[in-house]
Structure 1
Amino acid sequence: MGGGIQWQQNPALCNIMQEPWEEPDIPDVEAPTPRRALTCLSDEDSQKIYDSVPRTEDVFNLHRGDLELHEKLGAGNFGSVMKGVFRRGGQLIPVAVKTLKQDELPNAESELMKEARLMANLQHRNIVRMIGVCRSDMIMLVLELAPLGPLNKYLKRACGRELTMNKVIEIMFQVAEGMAYLESKNFVHRDLAARNVLLVNEQFAKISDFGMSKALGLGNEYYKAESAGKWPLKWYAPECIYYFKFDSKSDVWSYGVTLWEATSYGAKPYRGLKGCQILELIENNRRLERPDQCPPGVFDIMLRCWRHDKNDRPSFRDIVELLRKFRSKS
């Protein structure tokens, strides 16, 4: 492929190869227990809460007085994520609120608005619902709340106690369905990972964090990233690293890594390896090993996702059908 020579001649990529971005370790503390009222709702009832909010311009531009912020849930590329409540008439709607980190991103407001408009146009039960944007002393994205939080953190806490492998596969089936929807809309996620899969409950998952997503233009097969940035290299396909090219088939590669994370109950992929070592492993046709509890057939799906030539990888619609047969067999 000749990519190794290209990254060695690119100073920015050389730095990434030597010190790839790593997820922070999860503290050994118990997460706060989600409110029973939210976690005990059925999938349908939970969905109805957010489906009842109309997708109008008036709702999209939220008033600060209608938004109440509570505790911090975490931090992302754009800033903090807070738990909150959106007051609409007499209804109190649980929400997650992404706040803008203005000091680190000079163009953050425009990037945030791109993310907001993009998400507002997406409508699928396995995609986090965008409710609107609130502007006051900072800019906030207001999203539906997934009470159990990121899949990787929940898996580390659960360690298989609450989530059997059958449940894990069901969750990843839902992720594949959500990604098939994005694929059908010509959207590239570009940051699919277990940290960006949120759990409403133990059997209902939603894909989140479209901060780096872009709509593909008609006739375009990919878009080029302007710069490497804080790349999650361990989830990236070779063509993303070598040529800055992203499309649905590079999302498929990332899905394979996400499926590995899920079936290994939150283990970190390529732990301890530098970027150049990961690329050497991939170029030598080696891949992550099968997690201990992962069914061989599910691991075969991962291997299909990690084929070097993107044209040999399955589509997300293919993955949905491949996974369907394993939903009640593990």
Structure 2
Amino acid sequence: MASNPQASQLLGQREASDASNSSIPPRKMPTGKLYSIGDIHVGFADNKVAWSRLTPHPGDGLILCGDVGDSAEQMRLAFSRATECFDTVWWCPGNHELYTLPDKSGTTGVRGEQKYQECVDVAREYNVLNPEDDFVVWEGEGGPAVIAPIFTLYDYSFRPDDVSLEGAVPWAREKDTEATDEFLLHPDPHPSRQDWCKVLVQKFETKLEAARARFPLLPLVIANHWPLREDLVTLKFIPRFSLWCGTKLTDDWHRRFNAKVVISGHLHIRRTDWKDGCRFEEVSLGYPRQWKKCAEMGLGVNELLREILPGPEIPKTEEVPTQWRVYG
């Protein structure tokens, strides 16, 4: 595989900067495989124990696709183990990292954009690459490719055509469905979550366009907690939860930005789809009850890590059915 001098220089500059601060864990240029997992929710005791059993992957990289925990303390626990086991770790935020929760004294913390920045600061404590960092070129197996962690949120557009924006949440409540986000995820300083989503979409649209211009011959690996397409949201038991699962503004991003793989979490339903030659991977672990059958079979986080690169070969047929990956 050919080396990319521009990419090596980019990561090399980061490594030199990191080395100047001995308190930050070192990061190496991975030469092996790229894995991903999301929604590890280490605030749950069973998930915390499972994450503590993550095994070393020297030479490999890992993308944490959001919802690692509900607090800075839980994020540190997740990042600490991840960076011990993988040469390079990426992270993009989920809704749970953005929750504003009261502390033991009952005092609530920062909200909205400030809460997101707090999460970014925690990631940087552990040298974890995040949406605010420069995109890095992967030169390990299955590369070269640009690794692009992003953050888009949602705007309630994953709803039927006959349901208005104003009527969307009441429509979901008709079936006893309402995301905790409505109470704990604040959009400050934006007037609404959908307004914040619009700003984020514009921000990362610009960043992805710049990456395509800088590396015109390289495919992208886009990682976002929320699915980029509505047709990837299949929620058999809570279909109206789709409101909190993404935005239609990103529907064609896999084509526009030459994505090789798009990774997401959030749904807690592991699946693989192919759209226009692009592989879509939902990589959630989920709450303990949602991977209980896996645990009973002796399958933990190590077995449920999803190989992103090199990954499976591109199917030779145009129509490929969804692969429901219950056990990995």
Name the TM-score, length of structure 2 as normaliser: 0.26
Name the TM-score, length of structure 1 as normaliser: 0.26
